Amino acid sequence: MTTNPKAIDEAGALMLAFAERTGLSSAREPRRYLWTDAFAVCNFLALARATGDPRYGELAQRLVDQVHHLLGRHRPDAGRSGWLSGLGEAEGEAHPTRGGLRIGKTLPERGEGEPLDERLEWDRDGQYFHYLTKWMHALDQMARATRQPRFNLWACELATTAHSAFTHGPLGRHGRRMVWKMSCDLSRVLVPSMGHHDPLDGYITCVELRATATALHDGPSARKLDDAVGDFAAMLADRDWTTTDPLGIGGLLADAYRVAQLMRRRALADETLLDGLLAAAHAGLSQYVRQGDLRQPAAYRLAFRELGLAIGLAAISHIDVATSSRVAALTPYAPVGTEIEEFWLDPGHRHAHTWREHLDINEVMLATSLVPDGFLVLS
C-alpha cells in the first residue's frame, strides 16, 4: 500500500519522535500505553519494510520487550511486584503475556468495594479486551515479519488468557457474554457490560493467530484456540455491528480487510461475515458523514478517532473478493480518509488542545494512516 516517499518520511519522523518521547529510544522514564504501542509496533514494521532501515525493526522488537516488562507486570504502586500471571521470573520471561497486559492508564485500578465513578474509570488502570486483541495482532504481525514463532506463541497465550477471563456464562442463543474491563490481575470485573465489537475482535483475531500458528510452527497453540473461536463465533449470530463512531467504523473496515485476507488463505470461509461488516461500515459511515463532525474546528475533534476511520478507509480498494457491490458503495467515501489525514497533517491544527492532550496516540495513529500496511496487511 505505502509507496509515497513523503508519507513514509513523515511517518518516520512521527515514530522516531514518539520513540524518543516515551523512553523507547532515550534515557527518559518509559511510558507505555497498550493501544498506542500496538499500532506503534505495526508502524515500525511498515517503516522497516518501506525503507530497509534496520533501526525500525529494532525499535519494534524493543517496544515489544518494553511493553511486556512494564504492562505485563504489576504497577509500582500496586503493593506487590512481579508478573501479573504470578509466574516466577524465569518462567514469566518465557511467557510474558500469560497474565494479560495492563492498559497503562495513569491512575491505579478501582479498589475492591470502591463505588464506580464512570468519568474517573476512563483514567484508571486495568485490562481491556479490545486493547489485548490489538496487542495480539501486533505480536502476530511481528511473527509474520520476522518468521519467529515466539511472537505468535505469546499472542496465542494472551488470546487463551483473555478468552478465559473476559467471557462468562452458559451457552445461550447468542453464546456466552463478555465483560468490558477487568482488574490488572484479572481476578475481578471492573465494568461488566460487553463491548459492542469485542466478540468480533476476539473471533477474527483468534482465527488470524490460528492461521499464523499453523503456517509458522503447526504447534498445539493453534488447536488451543479452537474453543475461543467457537465461543466468539456463537456471539456473532444476529448482531448488528453498525456504529457512527469513526474509530469503530474504521475498525469494521480494517476487520473486513483482515477477513478478506483470511478467506483468500482459506483460513476462514464465512462470506456472510465479510458482507455484514461491509454493510455495517457503510450504514455507519454514511450517517457519520452527514452529521458534519468533520466540518468542526480542530478544538472540537478527536484526532485519533478520526484517524482510525482514515486507516480503515485505506483498506477499501484492497478488498477484492466477491463483495463488489458492497465495496462499490463504500468507494466514494475513500476521499474522506485523505481529508482527515490532510487536516491533521496541518501544523496549525496540531496546536489544538485536543491534539496536545492525546499527543502519543494522535501521532502514532497519524503515522498509521500514512503507512497503513504495517497494521492492515497480513504479510
pLDDT tens digit string along 359-378? 999 999 999 999 999 999 99
Is residue 65 a part of any domain in this protein? no
SS (H, E, C) 151-176: HHHHHHHHHHHHHHHHEECCCCCCCC
Q: What is the pLDDT of residue 219?
A: 65
Nine-digit cell string for 251: 475498525
Phi, then psi, of 225 in degrees rounded to 5: -85, -5
DSSP 287-339: HHHHHTGGGS-GGG--HHHHHHHHHHHTTGGG--SS-HHHHHHHGGGHHHHHH
Q: What is the pLDDT of residue 237?
A: 85
Is residue 285 a part of any domain in this protein? no
Is residue 63 a part of any domain in this protein? no
116-147, pLDDT tens digit by residue? 999 999 999 999 999 999 999 999 999 999 99
- Residue 57: is its pLDDT beyond 90? yes
- How many domains, in total, are found in the chain? 1
What is the value of pTM for the model shown? 0.96
Is residue 106 a part of any domain in this protein? yes
What one-letter code names the amino acid at 93? Answer: E
- Other beta carbons within 10 Å of 215: 16
Is residue 24 a part of any domain in this protein? no
Closest CA to 11 of 304, 343, 367, 375: 367
324-334, pLDDT tens digit by residue? 788 989 999 99
Please give the average per-residue pLDDT across 174-189, as a whole number. Answer: 91
Is residue 204 a part of any domain in this protein? yes
Give the chain's mean pLDDT.
94
- DSSP, res 351: G
Q: Can you give the residue range of the structural domain that contains 133?
A: 99-112+120-239
Out of 36-50, 162-176, 223-237, pick the least confident.
162-176
Is residue 358 a part of any domain in this protein? no
Is residue 166 a part of any domain in this protein? yes
- Residue 175: is its pLDDT beyond 70? no
182 in helix, strand or coil? strand
